[in-house]
Structure 1
């Protein structure tokens, strides 16, 4: 095998390696954005998505000074808000599993955990500094009779 054939073989192996790495990494890169997106098209799951432009409109609400200060402080660094809700047992289990996977893969910490009359509310956060949350996830498991709810906030929320 001559030098040119060796170079060609190395080049083909390198391309194959790069393609393999890309194929492996693409799901990881988009997982955080789309962890709950699979629920968007399910009729039995209510989905509310509030993007940055709608969050910014909240700052323009005409309310009292103290309420306005609270809204402004909370929404200042917020990028989006998503809510997923269902009462269908099958999807409740799927939401719970999706939350479990998301928490494991994103290293979020429990801030609050409350259990009362079969309902469970947990608040998780990803925090990069002592006064800023990058992401908040609220999970409400209503038990057998009530709805299951997932709320996610992303952005830079100052405490």
Structure 2
């Protein structure tokens, strides 16, 4: 129940725009579904009165307190998908601190993960996922960008609970890091 309240609060906050401008243009695209949550939203979540004795709630709050933003853009429009793919390619090519973590090709999907180094091996300052392929019977493209002080051990649970396409592959990345 408490976890559900956190997720509802996460989803109920209005869309904000900040940081990583490379993909912000897709927020206004007609055929793109977007989710953008900023540091302000995470600060608001940390002030909510949740049962602090529940270890799962504590883990969620720790995670969200360390994030700057989460941006997720999804489309099934082939023309927009092409623009999104180009934007990811350009962003990765122009960002020397971003390195590829993993590639997964499975069940009609291609998923690539990139990251910027963080404070330690289990932390990154940016996590970028680019997914193309068949999701729920449609060809889709998904870009997910998470910035902050990201604990890879915890972020896979959040993306799975938010039902982010490709979150299973992120769980595999988490398992490999442990």
Cα RMSD, aligned residues only: 2.3
Q: Aligned residue for 2:28?
A: 41
Task: Provide the C-alpha distance between the structure 2 equivalents of 1:127 and 1:141, rounded to a whole number of angstroms.
Answer: 25
SS in 1 for 2:20: helix
Alignment of 1:81 with 2:70, yes or no, is: yes
Q: Which residue, out of 54, 57, 60, partners 1:71?
A: 60
- Following TM superposition, by how much is the alpha carbon of 1:67 offset from its aligned partner in structure 2, in angstroms? 1.9
4+ residue runs over 3 A deviation? 57-64
CA displacement 1:59-112 (0-9 Å, x = unmatched): 447478232132123222211111111000011111111111111112312223
Task: Provide the C-alpha distance between the structure 2 equivalents of 1:65 and 1:110, rounded to a whole number of angstroms.
Answer: 35
Q: Which residue, out of 65, 75, 88, partners 1:99?
A: 88
Task: Provide the C-alpha distance between the structure 2 equivalents of 1:117 and 1:156, rounded to a whole number of angstroms.
Answer: 32
Task: Provide the C-alpha distance between the structure 2 equivalents of 1:66 and 1:111, rounded to a whole number of angstroms.
Answer: 29
Residues 111-150 of structure 1: matches in 2 within 5 Å? Answer: 111-131=101-121, 132-143=123-134, 145-150=138-143
- Following TM superposition, by how much is the alpha carbon of 1:135 offset from its aligned partner in structure 2, in angstroms? 0.7
SS in 2 for 1:97: helix
CA displacement 1:31-74 (0-9 Å, x = unmatched): x7311122122111112110112223444474782321321232
Structure 1: tracts of 5 or more residues without a match = 1-31
When Rg is computed on C-alpha atoms for both structures, the one with the higher figure is: 1
Task: Provide the C-alpha distance between the structure 2 equivalents of 1:150 and 1:49, rounded to a whole number of angstroms.
Answer: 12
* Number of aligned positions between the proteins: 128
1:78/1:156 contact within 8 Å kept? yes
Alignment of 1:155 with 2:148, yes or no, is: yes
Q: TM-score with structure 2 length normalisation?
A: 0.63
Q: TM-score with structure 1 length normalisation?
A: 0.70
1:58/1:71 contact within 8 Å kept? no
